[in-house]
Structure 1
Amino acid sequence: MLAFLSRIYYILNPPQTRTPTYDTLPGKPLNFGCLGAAKIAPAALIKPSRTHPEVVLYAVAARDAKRADEFAKKHGFLKSFGGLGGYQDMLDDPAVDVVYNPLPNGLHFEWTMKALAAGKHVLLEKPATCTAAEAAAIYALAKRKNLVVLEAFHYRFHPAIQRVKAIIDSGELGAIKRVEAALTAPEGTAPEGDIRWDYNLGGGSTMDPGCYTVNVLRYLAGCEPTSVLTAKAIPYSDRPEHKQVDRIFWATLAMENESIGEIHANLDEKKLWGIIPRMPKLSAVVECENGTVELFNFLIPHFYHSIRVHPRGKAARVEKAYSFGGAAKGEVWWTTYRYQLEAFVDQIQGRTPQTWINGEDTVANMKWIEVIYAKDGFGSRPASKYQPCAEDERTM
């Protein structure tokens, strides 16, 4: 209990890194610019940056200049850019080295391409784009310009999910037969009018919590799907604008290793009897020839998680993995986002990150999201109307 309380305290109140001198920095300080004053930014970038000596919260841009200024002052950004041209003004600032893009899904492609064209590395919120073709175009441009792009599946950088993968890969439980992953959010997480219910902005359950379930299925199975056997989705409402916006989805996939994957997501799980909130589903279960392993809370395991390993015919055991131990980087209170930021900066600085998510992985994840949408009849989210302008093409 003391360890739990200590971990929670430091997660919520990360110790401020002592300002290092240039002589003691591992690498050149990186000036981060944040596109939009998004709600996810404090957890995903701002708090993790406080314990990373190479990360500088340099600028934030928002359509509303007042909001940008208030966000900058509240969270310690050195500059703010506002107004209709605020995003581009920030990209045009030569002092910005890295861009964090937490904009709505439908804007990811345009502003990531513009950031790359401006010579910036990009930490890109998931799902990376609305189509696999857009994701491929992003990584193609990044390769041509020798820039780093990372799709922010933060859970992949935490010791908990990596420990589960190590158990599977060890052969202790035999060949994989079935992988199940579920992620649900309680009613009200995305209220009426939220961008996550907007089809034109890439909304829907498969795009939001669902993209995690597709990703964790592929990661733990250690291979790609071969087909979507079944897929079903329920729309957010019966209004015409929501006919392609899924509130819930289920899918069954055949995998290359002849296992079966079952995934489920719900972006608005209704209360029991209309009054009792349901417990979120946050589990990934891998059934093998000789037993099972289950990770509870694969999404944000830094708060609490459990890894239950049950070899057939033997006693079950429960493991925890809050740090890698040994000489590996990390503290028991590091969040998934802090581990992710460490890997991202390492990659930019030319060091070898502890783990990485490459462009092929991102493109494949988007491909299977689109295949699921095709199977359930809801269709892919609209591709961006953005086309690189002549100036962008010269930089490419």
Structure 2
Amino acid sequence: MFALLSRIYHISNPPKIKNDDACKPLNFGCLGAAKITPGALVNPSHTHPEVVLYAVAARDLKRAETYAREHGFQKSFGGETGYQDLIDDPNVDVVYNPLPNGLHFEWTMKALKGGKHVLLEKPATNTAAEVAAIYALAARKNLVVLEAFHYRFHPAIQRVKAILDSGELGPIKTISASLTAPRRHSARGRHTLELRPWRRIQKGKTGYTVNVLRYLASSNPTAVITAKAVPYSSRPEHKQVDKMFWATFALENDIIGELHSNLEEPKLFGFIPRVPKLSATVECAGGTVKIFNFLIPHYYHSITISPTGKSRRVERAYSFNGAAKGEDWWTTYRYQLEAFVDKVQGRNPQTWIEPEDTVANMKSVEEIYAKVNSISAFFITY
């Protein structure tokens, strides 16, 4: 309990450190005044000596100015040209793109054309083809792009992967992943298709579960066996906005994968929020391993290893042993920022998500929705 409280305190009150003059700090420019930015960039930046919160842009100048004051950005841009003005600022080294999903491709390409590295929130784009175009342009311009699957940089999920890769439990047979959240918001604003085209709401969360399946299995789906999506409501503007999703995969090496995502879990008795399900379970020939809370393990997580015929054990991994940097209270986003800055600065990051990985993940998500659409078309036809 003391360790948990200590982590919560340091996550909420990260110690601020001065910029390191030995290595040129990177000026970050943020597109949009998004709610994710304080946790994903602002707080982690306070403990990174090579990160400067340089500028933020918003459609409304007053909102940009207020956001800059509240979160410590040095400059603000606003109005119809605000995003482009930020990109055109020669002092911006990195663009952080947490815009609505439907704007990711457009503004990431513009940032790359402007010579900026990009930290890109997930899902990277609408299609695998758009992802490939982003990385092709980045390669031509020698720039770094990272899709922000932040959980991949934390010691917890890497410990699970190490257990599986060690062969202790034998070959993988099945993997299941769940990501649910209690109902919090109305459909207005958050559940609009215009800014999040083609099932954009669930595509981001489905991407998490697909990503963890692929990562732990060290393989890609070969076929989508089943897929089902439940729309947010029957209203026309919500018919392609999912609130629940299920799918099963056949993966390489004869592995079966199952995923479930639900962003609108109803409250118990109408008023008690349900505990989110953020877990992944891997069944192997010689036992199972389960991680509770793979998505935000910095607050609390558990890794339960159950070898067949042997005693069960529980592990936790909040920091790396050995040479890798990190503190027990570092969030997934702080580990991610460390890796991203290392890559931009020409150092070798502790771990990295390669372009091929991002393209493969989006391709798998596309195949899920193709299956959903084919099933829907069948029932409509017959």
Give the structure-2-normalised TM-score.
0.96
Post-superposition offset of 1:276: 2.6
Instruction: Report the alpha carbon displacement of residue 275 of structure 1 after superposing the two structures with TM.
Output: 2.6
In structure 1, the partner of 2:189 is 194
8 Å Cα contact 1:104-1:195 kept in structure 2: no
Which residue identity lines up with residue 92 of structure 1 in the other structure?
D
- Structure-2 separation of matches of 1:318 and 1:283: 15
Worse-superposed segment, 144-153 or 11-20: 11-20
Contact 2:191 2:238 survives alignment (8 Å): no
What does residue range 116-127 of structure 1 map to in structure 2 within 5 Å? 116-127=112-123
State the partner residue of 1:161: 157
| Distance of 1:170 and 1:240 partners within structure 2 | 50
Structure 1, residues 339-386: CA drift from partner, whole Å, max 9, x if none? Answer: 00000000000000000001111111111111111111189xxxxxxx
2:244 and 2:269 mapped to 1: Cα distance?
18
The equivalent residue for 2:380 is none
1:237–1:264 CA distance, 2 compared to 1 (3 A): same
Q: Which residue identity lines up with residue 83 of structure 1 in the other structure? A: G
Find the aligned partners of 2:6 and 2:243 in 1 and give their Cα distance.
37
Is 1:179 the counterpart of 2:203 in the alignment? no
Whether the 8 Å contact between 2:339 and 2:352 is mirrored in structure 1 is yes
Which residue of 24, 40, 44 corresponds with 1:44?
40
**Deviations along 1:255-291, whole A, 9 cap, x unmatched?**
0111100001011111233233221110000000000
Asked if the contact 2:228/2:245 (under 8 Å) is kept, the reply is yes
- For the residue of structure 2 that corresponds to 1:351, the secondary structure is coil
Q: Which amino acid aligns with 1:11?
A: I
Question: How far apart in 2 are the matches of 1:330 and 1:196?
Answer: 36
**Residue identity in the other structure for 1:35:** L
Which ranges in structure 2 are unaligned for 5 or more consecutive residues?
376-382
How has the CA–CA distance of structure 1 residues 304 and 298 changed in structure 2, closer, same or farther, with 3 Å as cutoff?
same
Native 8 Å contact 2:249 2:258 kept in 1: yes
The answer as to whether partners of 1:246 and 1:378 remain within 8 angstroms in 2 is no
The aligned residue for residue 66 of structure 1 is 62
**Distance in 2, Cα, partners of 1:232 & 1:217:** 18
Classify the secondary structure of the residue corresponding to 1:356: coil
User: Aligned with 2:253: secondary structure?
Assistant: coil
Match of 1:99 in 2: 95
CA distance in 2, matches of 1:152, 1:358: 12
The residue aligned with 2:107 is 111
Change (3 A) 1:339 1:284: same
Q: Which residue of structure 2 lines up, in the alignment, with residue 30 of structure 1?
A: 26
Query: 1:241 Cα shift?
Result: 1.7
Give per-residue Cα distances to partners, 1:226-247, cap 9 Å, x unaligned: 0000000111000112222111
Measure, in 1, the Cα distance between the counterparts of 2:250 and 2:150.
26
Q: Kindly indicate whether the alpha-carbon contact (under 8 Å) linking 1:204 and 1:247 is maintained by their aligned counterparts in 2.
A: no
**Counterpart for residue 221 of structure 2:** 225
Provide the C-alpha distance between the structure 2 equivalents of 1:375 and 1:34, rounded to a whole number of angstroms.
36
Report 1:211-360 matches (<5 A). Answer: 211-360=207-356
**SS of the residue 1:162 aligns to:** helix
Distance 1:70 1:268, change over 3 A: same
How high is the sequence identity, in percent, across the aligned residues? Answer: 70
Structure 1's 65 and 183: CA in aligned 2 closer, same or farther, altered over 3 A? Answer: same
Letter in 2 for 1:5: L
Residue ranges of structure 1 left out of the alignment (5+ in a row): 380-396
Kindly provide the amino acid, as one letter, of the partner of residue 169 in structure 1.
Answer: D
1:144 Cα offset (Å):
0.4
Over aligned residues, Cα RMSD in angstroms? 1.3
Change (3 A) 1:244 1:378: farther
Deviation (angstroms), 1:8? 1.1
- Aligned partners of 1:271, 1:63: CA distance in 2, in Å? 35
Q: Are the aligned partners of 1:99 and 1:121 in contact in 2 as well (CA < 8 Å)?
A: yes
Alpha-carbon shift at residue 156 of structure 1 (Å): 0.1
Q: Distance in 2 between matches of 1:331 and 1:200?
A: 37
Aligned partner of 2:366: which letter? E
- Name 1:10's counterpart in structure 2: 10
Aligned partner of 1:254: which letter?
Answer: A
> Residues 286-343 of structure 1, C-alpha deviation per residue, up to 9 Å, x if partnerless?
0000000000000000000000000011110000000002221000010000000000
Give the SS at the match of 1:43.
Answer: helix
User: Is the 2:102–2:200 contact (alpha carbons within 8 Å) kept by the matching residues of 1?
Assistant: no
Could you tell me how far 1:4 is from its partner in structure 2?
1.5
- Shift of residue 205, structure 1, vs aligned partner: 4.6
SS in 2 for 1:42: helix
Q: Is the 8 A contact 1:205 1:248 kept in 2?
A: no
CA distance in 1, matches of 2:365, 2:135: 18
TM-score with structure 1 length normalisation? 0.92
